[in-house]
Amino acid sequence: MHPKVLLDACAELVRLTLKFDHPADAIVSRFFRDNRGLGPRERATLAETVYTVLRKKLLFDHLAPSGSGPKERRLAILGFYGPGDFLRSALTEQEVNWLDQCEKVSPNDLMERHRHNLPEWLVQPLKDQLGEEFWPMAETLNLGAGLDLRVNTFKAKRADVQKELAKAGIKAVNTPYSPWGLRIAGKPALNKNDAFMRGEFEVQDEGSQLLSMLLDAKRGEMVTDFCAGAGGKTLAIGAAMRSTGRLYAFDTSAHRLDAFKSRLKRSGLSNVHPAAIAHERDDRVKRLTGKMDRVLVDAPCTGLGTLRRNPDLKWRQNMQAVEEMAVKQAAILQSAARMLKSGGRLVYATCSVLPQENEAIAEAFSAANPDFVPLSAGKVLAELKVEAAASLCSGGDNGQLYLRLWPHRHGTDGFFAAVWQKK
């Protein structure tokens, strides 16, 4: 594609995305469907340009006024993903001079907001939690996320999958914490890989794998993934159960569960039973009261732990949304807890980094439910032979009560989890 045409397409996609009327990934996917002639390189340039603009929006908004032409074009130029000489061949002389001046701007000369590129409502909560680590965290969020895989241990061994990927020219290293995980540099096409098509691995962040491990589901048990979504954790739990027992995958989105069915078929698991529910008080849920050995509540949340891969969320959320979400999370957790039998294990998890969605929910639940005894997430992970389990946790008297993952510390998305056992 001619550089000028590609830059114009980038500018148009930036314009559509910055309306913030839909999630960025949905807008990008629709743009690709509407422009089916785009090749893999063009798609990569378009997507990465848009995500760079979203990650560094405050900085680019600061630099853009000094340029000329439509704002979305200036933003696309600043965020363009590709060789500099390719980009410059699409620019006017005036634009080249402007871009050269922008690239000379030193980070040390910028205001804080133009360096961290975070909305003000989010900055202070992160500084309160992280202190001097705020800046490493902010820098990490602006770099984008790597690619983690979870080996389906019901079908394959990690070492064997690693070798097969190597034969396909894909270098994969073991994830540092999850015994199921492999980490890949770059974003190679995997959906046509033989091992993937055989269901021997799935794309899944290492942090999400660790959440599934915390449940520690056993063969033959009755287990519920209460907010299954796209089913990534469901598949991990089902593999840990060796396709025995009964694993319910509940979600309020029938569409997402339908999309999950192809992944389920590929996995080879026969113990998973997806079911759409209307709400957390659905009759299907009530009928299972007191029958479950284990329940995972991967609650709906703001998703602010996933800003490396979903940077639009920081511009589409606010503190009011956080507060509203916390009410919903507390209600879902309370309802799901009723499904546990005596001795059963409950795990509450989010992909948020805010204490309002995490520790506050867990502490309120513990206070209101004395028949649920908090377990040390660090101890649970150590018993499961997770490397450096203590470094993955925080809270409580010994700093081990909750799983608390941070992108800059652990190389994962930001995750939280609390664990209880019912008396």
> 3-state secondary structure string, 3-26?
HHHHHHHHHHHHHHHCCCCCCHHH
DSSP state of 229: T
10, 227, 301, 351: which is the annotated catalytic residue? 351
Our answer to whether residue 301 is catalytic in this structure is no
Tell which residue, 389, 292, 303, 393, has the closest CA to residue 344: 292
CA pair distance 129, 110, nearest whole angstrom: 24
128, with CB counted inside 10 A (0-12, 13-18, 19+), is exposed
CA pair distance 357, 324, nearest whole angstrom: 10
DSSP calls for 113-129: HHHH---HHHHHHHHHH
Helix axes 71-79, 3-17, angle to 10 degrees: 110
CA pair distance 275, 286, nearest whole angstrom: 14
Distance between first and last Cα of the chain: 64
3-state helix, strand, coil in the chain (%, to 5): 50, 15, 35
380, 276 contact by CB (below 8 A): no
32, 288 contact by CB (below 8 A): no
What φ, ψ does residue 297 adopt, rounded to 5°?
Answer: -110, 90
Distances (CA, A) of 190 to 197, 200, 203: 9, 12, 9
380, 373 contact by CB (below 8 A): no
* Residue 48: Cβ within 10 Å count: 17
241, 216 contact by CB (below 8 A): no
- Residues that are catalytic: 351
